[in-house]
Amino acid sequence: MAEIFGISDKTISKWERGNGFPEVSLLLPLCNELEITVNELLSGERLEEVDYKKKAEENMVNLVREAQESKKKIILSFVVVFFAVLAAMPLFAIVEYVTLNKAAEIALIVIGIIILVGGVLIACVDEVRIVLKGDINLENAIKGLMNKFNSLDPLVYLGIIF
């Protein structure tokens, strides 16, 4: 199963133990492979017709709540990156417009790069942690990040910038 979806067997083991959950992009393919409905997957059990509607409503509420939390995390990530750029740019400007010795220039550039990289790593901490643990490969983590950013309303981008 792990090979089919391009994920690690550790990740599937976490799903089976209830310690993790598949990404939304994997739900339909996973359900097709297991020959169950998404509602049954989200409920963690086979559902009788009478329980189906109730469980569907519960699952829908949970998904909406998780989507709202995810948007908050994405907005916070943008804010962190924005402030990292804001903190690093003056250092680069000093190097460009102020006469300094080479050692000071190099130090300011290195500090600026550390701030930028640190900001990006902090903003993407969940994906970085998942990749480092080997739960998902880097390509799938990047796709997941792009899906999260693409799911945001364009007005959110403007709200962050202004």
Q: What is the pLDDT of residues 66-89, one digit of tens each?
A: 777 777 777 888 888 889 999 999
- Residue type, position 114, single letter: I
Chain centre to alpha carbon of residue 66: 12
pLDDT band at 144 (very low <50, low <70, confident <90, very high): low
DSSP conformation class of 98: S
Which pLDDT value is given to residue 161?
Answer: 42
Q: Is 79 helix (H, G, I), strand (E, B) or coil?
A: helix
Q: Is 36 helix (H, G, I), strand (E, B) or coil?
A: coil
DSSP-H helix ranges across the chain? 2-5, 9-17, 24-34, 38-43, 49-97, 102-123, 125-133, 138-151, 154-161
Question: What's the pTM?
Answer: 0.51
Most confident of 48-52, 83-87, 136-140: 83-87
Most confident of 87-91, 146-150, 152-156: 87-91
Contacts of 130 (CB under 8 A, 6+ apart): 136, 141
Mean pLDDT of the chain: 76
Residue 104 has pLDDT above 90, yes or no: yes
Which pLDDT value is given to residue 111?
Answer: 95
Contacts of 1 (CB under 8 A, 6+ apart): 12, 33
d(CA 161, CA 81) in angstroms, rounded, equals 11
d(CA 37, CA 47) in angstroms, rounded, equals 9
Radius of gyration in angstroms for the set of CA atoms belonging to the chain, rounded to a whole number: 21
Q: Which comes out higher in pLDDT, residue 119 or 47? A: 119
Cβ 85 vs Cβ 117: under 8 Å = no
